[in-house]
Chains A and B, each alone.
Chain A
């Protein structure tokens, strides 16, 4: 990181500080305080009250009631479990592995195939969330393309959105998010010096051993970064699931963000919904801190 701009400061070291210099930070800071810090603070407060949308508009302090209620609530436990499944299948296994595989294969493939694959995968990523949801809804429907392909291969077809809704939305998320991992890993793999892999090849290490002992250790940090960012973005997926299944049938694809929305707006339990939101926020914050530590950011 070039620190060119700091020279002037050091040369003038010892002069009195000039607070006016920091004035340009004001607009951004005001916005962040009003619209981000404010809601987060409000979130913490409301989570400990019994605020409701309808009926008596009182909000009394109820302490940890909302959280106790959550941990005793089967629907909440279901949402936690489904969130884990969704995150594990779509982010950790799906996007991460397929992204790495694609990045690796692209290095060995011929140019036109590489270009076309990249374009298709990235197009899926750039499409607006709702369009992606709608495309995959059509793809997984009983009368959709997936079953058409399965019929053609003489494999049993089924109504995916009904029998395996959480897997359908997980695959949808893989379709939508793999490009990100692919880009990160492409960048990481291109930074591995060629002579290292060549030396290993000469020494007779086969593909799998090369991958395990050389490639993966060398891109360790990218793997960490990618898993972290993928997991964080997967934790907050709402539109994709909402548009595909509404969290249904029943609550069988109701991950935490969908559960939160459902409780706060459809069941009018703002306090309870916010308590769930706060838990989600805490998980996100935890990941975020780990991620910054991992990066050892220099600012």
Chain B
């Protein structure tokens, strides 16, 4: 056997083991969702059934929380992308004394642990009566993603040539017209990436809505799933697994959409050239 083949086989075997270890918890999720009497172990269902899914497809368990998630994350994503696109334009196209400090501050805030400020945020929200409101929570969620979105958006915008803009400017187009009719359409893929990435981040966010929303009818899926299995003991694992799959599917699909477009290193959106 040639040495190269040996190396390949050894690598395959090692990866196979690691992938197996990573796969086990995921496998449990899929198998349990199809098993009427699922417990905590990975095992093949004796008679695969979809009754777990039909059991959780009710307003209370699935539809209301998912709709809340969609409203919350959708509106926050749109707000973030709109503000980031506006902010990125002057940062990308003009230079002034304060644009560099502004950008460095933005980069600095991308790294701050948002978890740490949730206690004071809650305190402030109580003061200004924003606790337990969807729009207040959406505003905070949008802001938490804003620094990274501005950074990504600016990097994408830097890649758009300015020739067409020059023409528009000479024809007397306003800045907003130039941005919305020329620059943004040219950076469509970049916009899509920022939008989907933001949405994925928000969809999975647990701590912010957990802190800021209280009424059961306003909770997004990330928090409702927690209260659903938070009462250990009498959990119907199969149903929980089924609900988890329903809740996770949108982000998995969206990720596949952007990963095709970007290859591997998208995670940092070009912010890092290590």
Query: Which residues of chain A have a CB within 8 Å of any CB of chain B?
Result: 1-9, 17, 21-22, 24-25, 27-29, 31-32, 34-36, 38-40, 42-43, 46, 51, 98, 101-102, 105-106, 108-110, 113-114, 116-117, 120-124, 126-131, 134-136, 138-139, 141, 143-145, 148-149, 175, 178, 180, 183-184, 186-188, 219, 221-226, 229, 232, 235-239, 243, 257, 260-261, 264-265, 270, 273-274, 277-278, 280-281, 284-285, 287-289, 291-292, 295, 297, 299
13 A/B residue pairs, CB under 8 Å, sorted by A: A5-B162, A8-B93, A9-B94, A28-B146, A31-B143, A36-B147, A102-B15, A108-B7, A109-B12, A120-B22, A235-B113, A239-B207, A292-B107
Q: Cα distance A51–B122 when bound, in Å?
A: 13
Q: Cα distance A31–B183 when bound, in Å?
A: 24
On whether the beta carbons of A299 and B103 are closer than 8 Å, the reply is yes
Contact of A127 among B124, B240, B248 (CB under 8 A): B248
Main secondary structure of the interface of A (DSSP, over half): helix
Main secondary structure of the interface of B (DSSP, over half): helix
Chain B proximity of A289: nearest CB distance (Å) = 7
Residues of A within 8 Å of B117, CB to CB, are: 36, 39-40, 43, 277, 281
Q: Cα distance A232–B114 when bound, in Å?
A: 10
Contact of B162 among A8, A108, A186, A287 (CB under 8 A): A8
The total of chain B residues at the interface (CB under 8 A) is 107
Contact of B123 among A6, A46, A222 (CB under 8 A): A46
Which candidate, B44-52, B54-62, B187-195, B264-272, is the interface stretch facing chain A?
B264-272
Query: Which residues of chain B have a CB within 8 Å of any CB of chain A?
Result: 7-8, 10-12, 14-16, 18-19, 22-26, 28-29, 39-42, 79, 82-84, 86-87, 89-96, 99-100, 102-104, 107-109, 111-124, 139-140, 142-144, 146-147, 150, 155, 157-162, 165-166, 169, 175-176, 179, 200, 203-207, 210, 222, 225-226, 229-230, 237, 240, 244, 247-248, 251-252, 255, 259, 264-268, 272-274
Contact of B42 among A36, A145, A219, A260 (CB under 8 A): A145
